[in-house]
């Protein structure tokens, strides 16, 4: 009987110690560790078919590496592609440049004067996976509006 009581006490103590053990901090949430900034549009001569290329700087300032799993924009009138194509992992203290290309699909629905256009970015690190919206500022809004207007106000092309 004493052996059974001792065994139960040891098992309970082991479970308690395992449950209350210190765990390593997984670091910040991905959106807290990452900054996304707009680097200015690529010159107009490099805009075939209504597309405009936008270099973005992705920087991880703290915690474990962060993987950019996808980059999207909300307008169905615009297409977005990224180069390099996600997933892209950025190490702590490092910066990566991703060039997004936004192309006009439908001039009637394209946002001509979007005040605060944003990008939806899916981020993942050791702590979690998050969808985060990033507003890239006034210059991005002006450059995007200019690209859409320039493309949509061109005379029709002859085939």
Question: Do the Cβ atoms of 58 and 150 come closer than 8 Å?
Answer: no
Bridge partners of 121? 71, 132
Q: What does the alpha-carbon distance between residue 154 and residue 50 come to, in Å, rounded to a whole number?
A: 10
Please list the alpha-helical segments (H only) found in 23-154: 30-33, 138-152
Q: Which domain holds residue 38?
A: 30-152
**Residue 51 placed within a domain:** yes
Q: Would strands 78-83 and 95-104 be described as parallel, antiparallel, or unpaired?
A: antiparallel
Q: What is the CATH number of the domain that holds 52?
A: 2.60.40.10
In a domain, 117, yes or no: yes
Residue 117, classed as helix, strand or coil, is: coil
Question: How far apart, in whole angstroms, are the C-alpha atoms of residue 96 and residue 110?
Answer: 29
Q: Is the pLDDT at 92 greater than 90, yes or no?
A: yes
Are residues 50 and 103 in contact, defined by beta-carbon separation less than 8 angstroms? yes
Question: Is 14 inside a domain boundary?
Answer: no
In a domain, 22, yes or no: no
Dist. CA 51–CA 58, nearest whole Å: 21
Cβ–Cβ under 8 Å, residues 8 and 40 = no
- The pTM for the full model equals 0.77
Q: Which of 79, 98, 109 is nearest to 136 (CA)?
A: 98
C-alpha 41/C-alpha 121 separation (Å) is 19
Give 113 or 145, the one with higher predicted confidence: 145
pLDDT of residue 30: 96
Whether residue 20 lies inside any domain: the answer is: no
Is residue 159 a part of any domain in this protein?
no
Residue 100, domain member (yes or no): yes
In whole numbers, what is the pLDDT of the chain averaged over residues?
Answer: 85
**pLDDT tens-digit series, residues 41-87:** 776 555 556 678 889 999 999 999 999 999 999 889 999 999 999 99
In a domain, 9, yes or no: no
Kindly report which listed range (17-26, 117-126, 150-159) carries the lowest average pLDDT score: 150-159
Tally of domains in the chain: 1
């Amino acid at each position: 009987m004493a052996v059974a009581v001792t065994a139960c006490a040891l098992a309970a103590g082991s479970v308690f110690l395992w449950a209350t053990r210190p765990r390593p901090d997984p670091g910040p949430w991905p959106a807290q560790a990452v900054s996304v900034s707009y680097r200015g549009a690529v010159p107009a001569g490099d805009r075939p078919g209504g597309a405009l290329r936008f270099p973005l700087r992705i920087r991880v300032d703290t915690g474990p590496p962060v993987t950019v799993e996808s980059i999207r924009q909300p307008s169905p009138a615009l297409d977005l592609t990224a180069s390099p194509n996600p997933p892209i992992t950025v190490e702590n203290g490092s910066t990566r440049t991703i060039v997004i290309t936004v192309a006009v699909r439908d001039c009637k629905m394209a946002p001509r004067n979007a005040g605060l256009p944003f990008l939806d970015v899916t981020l993942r690190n050791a702590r979690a996976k998050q969808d985060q919206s990033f507003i890239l500022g006034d210059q991005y809004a002006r450059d995007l509006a200019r690209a859409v207007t320039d493309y949509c106000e061109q005379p029709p092309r002859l085939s």
